[in-house]
């Protein structure tokens, strides 16, 4: 499917399928077309060209019926700042026309689920970023959706708040809810997604499970070398050429892709390469992205 | 049976309103009291001595429906500017609504309905205060409430549609000062439009407020004129319909791109 805004092409012909019960991710940098894709799946943005079916229905003709079965966590908070935490969840339930006694019961359960029971009578304005995120998730769950759409669910959160959100999302996944999420954090994609696509410039550049993608597009391990200055780095370059499978020169460090990190690091040191710091780590989706696009995920 | 979608939006607006309804109700009573005493009793006393009846009634009776509809217009326009901008841009709760079964047109209709409901409550309070002060000679005056509601709906439907085309609130004060204020002054509210210079009379004829005031005044004084009153009703009804056609498009464009 394709999404154009005037002459700007946000999504340039992508093709994907999500199975029920799956956790599916769109990984990519800002501007890759992830949010546009999510908005089309959420039936709030018409497809410019191509075909999209959500829960077997066409968003162009069955938007309200599809949205009745979705739970949406948008990238930008859209909570009612003037209402209390509890009322935010309750009024959202009314948009789905749920009966009030049912809303009351579910709202209490959901606030417990996202650990906001103590805050239920506070105004949303006073909540921290992490709490607002959790409240948005609780709100999206009021209608017991079959499919959750989460656009950058943990962007801007501190590590502790992120882990809490991840933990809640695992629980939903275990309960059989289909999760579709976007992220530009590779650890988030690795932790949560059964399967993901990597997007760049409106295209899908790769698809698979996190493990698959790493096996396919990267080596087992990576040696990260940081040099004291450019002079050292330039001097070391010819020596490093024969070591590892591939080398990637970034602004602040050099990455050597290898199947044997320890051994190759020892070889480098024996050859007289003398960086300020050496780090050996397992390959990640970040490396997959770098291999595929030549850029890191946080570059604009 | 399911709740109509726009009603669910009205429920939201009412929920927010519950947080500050006390101050609003005080304003609904105090504001007419101040205006009616100053304009009706104070100024009206002098006018009645100097000129005799205005439009066939005492000035107090003349100006009361004008002030009532002026308040309805200001309430409707105010409710259609900043709160709508907040919903679409600042707080973004309209975006939360369209992620659910609600459609942009439901949000639009809910917002306009709520503005109309508030105008109706305000107009009822106004009429009650005016009646207590003795400005309402006819029992037909209860019909001035639906007249105020219709006039409010006309303003709300057009202005709400307009607000969805705006990226910022920069133009809003201009609308209040150069749109709403002149209408308030020259729509047969404080004096009959026959007092206006000839060139300005056609302008009054297209003022929605003038049509509303004429209807309300017919009710509060019990002096109906079938032909002109039907024209007033049709004019205001047409505005509501035009606003709806426009708002359906501007809300869809704003909330689903």
Do A21 and A151 fall into the same domain? yes
- Residues B70-93 pLDDT 10s: 999 999 999 999 999 999 999 999
Interface predicted TM-score of the whole assembly (ipTM), two decimals: 0.92
In a domain, A154, yes or no: yes
pTM over 0.90: yes
Residues A19/A189, Cβ–Cβ less than 8 Å: no
Token output for A30: 């800002």
Does pLDDT of A237 surpass 90? no
Which three-class secondary structure state does DSSP give residue B182? Answer: helix
Do A20 and A104 fall into the same domain? yes
Do A49 and A192 fall into the same domain? yes
In a domain, A290, yes or no: no
- Across chain A, what does the average pLDDT equal? 93
**Interchain proximity B101–A67, CB inside 8 Å:** yes
User: What CATH number is given to the structural domain containing A137?
Assistant: 3.40.50.300
Minimum distance, in Å, between the CA of residue B43 and any CA atom of chain A: 41
pLDDT band at residue A158 under the 50/70/90 scheme: confident
Q: What per-residue confidence (pLDDT) applies to A299?
A: 63
Do A178 and A48 fall into the same domain? yes
Q: Which of A80, A92, A95 sits opposite B91 (nearest CB)?
A: A80
In a domain, A173, yes or no: yes
Q: What per-residue confidence (pLDDT) applies to A186?
A: 85
Residues A211/A282, Cβ–Cβ less than 8 Å: no
Does pLDDT of B230 surpass 70? yes
Please list every residue in chain A whose beta carbon sits closer than 8 Å to the beta carbon of residue B97: 95
Interval A238-250 mean pLDDT: 86
In a domain, A71, yes or no: yes
pLDDT band at residue A69 under the 50/70/90 scheme: very high
Residue of A nearest to B97 (CA): A95
Please list every residue in chain A whose beta carbon sits closer than 8 Å to the beta carbon of residue B100: 67-68, 92, 95-96, 143
Do A180 and A33 fall into the same domain? yes
Do A145 and A241 fall into the same domain? no
Do A125 and A262 fall into the same domain? no
Do A98 and A232 fall into the same domain? no
Minimum distance, in Å, between the CA of residue B49 and any CA atom of chain A: 51
Interval A187-198 mean pLDDT: 93
**Interchain proximity A76–B100, CB inside 8 Å:** no
In a domain, A110, yes or no: yes
Q: What per-residue confidence (pLDDT) applies to B193?
A: 92
Does pLDDT of A298 surpass 80? no
User: What CATH number is given to the structural domain containing A227?
Assistant: 3.30.70.790
Residue of A nearest to B251 (CA): A44
Do A151 and A239 fall into the same domain? no
In a domain, A138, yes or no: yes
Do A93 and A188 fall into the same domain? yes
In a domain, A214, yes or no: no
In a domain, A119, yes or no: yes
Q: Which residues of B touch A (CB under 8 A)?
A: 2-3, 5, 8, 11-12, 15-16, 19, 91-93, 95-103, 255-257
Q: Which of A68, A76, A143 sits opposite B92 (nearest CB)?
A: A76
pLDDT band at residue A296 under the 50/70/90 scheme: confident
Do A20 and A120 fall into the same domain? yes
Q: Which of residues 27-56 of A touch B (CB under 8 A)?
A: 39, 42, 44-46
Q: What per-residue confidence (pLDDT) applies to B20?
A: 86
As a whole number of angstroms, the distance between CA B19 and CA A76 comes to 25
Q: What per-residue confidence (pLDDT) applies to A195?
A: 97
Instruction: Say how many domains are in chain A.
Output: 2
Q: Which domain holds residue A34?
A: 8-209
Distance between alpha carbon A267 and the CA centroid of its chain, in Å?
37
Q: Which residue has the higher pLDDT, B221 or B19?
A: B221
List b or e across B80-97, with b for residues whose CB sees 16 or more CB atoms inside 10 angstroms: bbebbbbbbbebbbbbbb
Q: Which of residues 134-153 of A touch B (CB under 8 A)?
A: 139, 143
Do A158 and A108 fall into the same domain? yes
A267-273 long-range CB contacts below 8 Å, 24 or more apart? A267/A243, A268/A223, A268/A225, A268/A239, A268/A240, A268/A243, A271/A239, A271/A240, A271/A243, A272/A239, A273/A225, A273/A236, A273/A239, A273/A240
As a whole number of angstroms, the distance between CA A186 and CA B242 comes to 50
Q: Pick from A209, A230, A264: which residue ends a domain?
A: A209
Minimum distance, in Å, between the CA of residue B124 and any CA atom of chain A: 27
Outline where DSSP puts E strands in chain B.
Answer: none
């Amino acid at each position: 499917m394709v999404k154009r805004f005037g002459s700007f092409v946000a999504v340039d012909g992508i093709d994907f399928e999500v199975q029920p019960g799956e956790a599916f991710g769109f990984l990519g940098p800002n501007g890759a077309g992830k949010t546009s894709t999510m908005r089309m799946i959420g039936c709030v943005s018409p497809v410019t060209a191509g075909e999209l079916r959500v829960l077997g229905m066409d968003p162009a003709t069955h938007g309200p019926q599809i949205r009745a079965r979705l739970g949406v966590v948008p990238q930008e908070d859209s909570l009612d700042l003037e209402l209390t935490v509890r009322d935010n969840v309750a009024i959202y339930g009314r948009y789905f026309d749920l009966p009030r006694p049912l809303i009351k019961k579910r709202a209490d359960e959901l606030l417990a689920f996202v650990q906001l029971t103590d805050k239920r009578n506070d105004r949303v304005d006073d909540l921290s970023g992490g709490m607002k995120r959790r409240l948005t998730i609780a709100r999206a769950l009021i209608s017991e959706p079959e499919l959750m759409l989460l656009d950058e669910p943990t962007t801007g959160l501190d590590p502790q708040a992120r882990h809490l959100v991840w933990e809640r999302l695992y629980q939903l996944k275990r309960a059989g809810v289909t999760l579709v999420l976007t992220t530009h954090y590779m650890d988030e994609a690795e932790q949560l997604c059964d399967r993901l696509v990597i997007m760049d410039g409106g295209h899908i550049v790769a698809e698979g499970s996190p493990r698959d993608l790493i096996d396919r597009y990267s080596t087992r391990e990576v040696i990260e070398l940081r040099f004291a200055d450019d002079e050292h780095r330039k001097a070391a370059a010819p020596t490093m050429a024969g070591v590892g499978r591939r080398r990637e020169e970034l602004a602040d460090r050099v990455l050597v892709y290898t199947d044997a990190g320890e051994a190759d690091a020892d070889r480098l040191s024996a050859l007289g390469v003398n960086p300020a710091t050496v780090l050996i780590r397992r390959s990640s989706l970040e490396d997959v992205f770098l291999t595929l696009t030549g850029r890191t995920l946080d570059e604009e | 049976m399911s709740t109509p979608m726009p009603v669910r939006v009205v429920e939201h607006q009412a929920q927010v309103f519950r947080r500050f309804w006390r101050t609003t109700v005080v304003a609904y009573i105090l504001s007419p009291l101040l205006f009616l005493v100053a304009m009706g009793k104070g100024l009206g006393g002098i006018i009645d001595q100097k000129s005799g009846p205005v439009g066939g009634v005492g000035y107090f009776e003349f100006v009361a429906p004008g002030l009532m509809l002026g308040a309805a217009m200001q309430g409707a326009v105010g409710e259609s500017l900043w709160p709508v901008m907040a919903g679409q841009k600042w707080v973004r709760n309209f975006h939360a609504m369209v992620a659910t079964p609600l459609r942009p047109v439901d949000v639009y209709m809910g917002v306009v309905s709520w503005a109309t409901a508030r105008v109706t409550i305000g107009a009822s309070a106004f009429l009650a205060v005016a009646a207590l002060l003795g400005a309402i000679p006819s029992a037909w005056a209860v019909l001035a409430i639906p007249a105020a509601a219709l006039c409010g709906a006309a303003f709300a439907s057009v202005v709400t549609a307009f607000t969805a085309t705006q990226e910022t609130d920069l133009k809003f004060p201009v609308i209040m000062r150069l749109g709403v204020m002149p209408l308030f002054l020259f729509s047969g509210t404080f004096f009959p439009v026959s007092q206006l210079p000839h060139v300005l009379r056609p302008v009054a004829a297209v003022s929605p407020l003038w049509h509303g005031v004429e209807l309300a005044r017919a009710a509060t004084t019990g002096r109906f004129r079938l032909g002109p009153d039907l024209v007033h009703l049709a004019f205001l009804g047409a505005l509501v319909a035009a606003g709806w056609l426009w708002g359906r498009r501007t809300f869809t464009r704003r909330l689903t791109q």
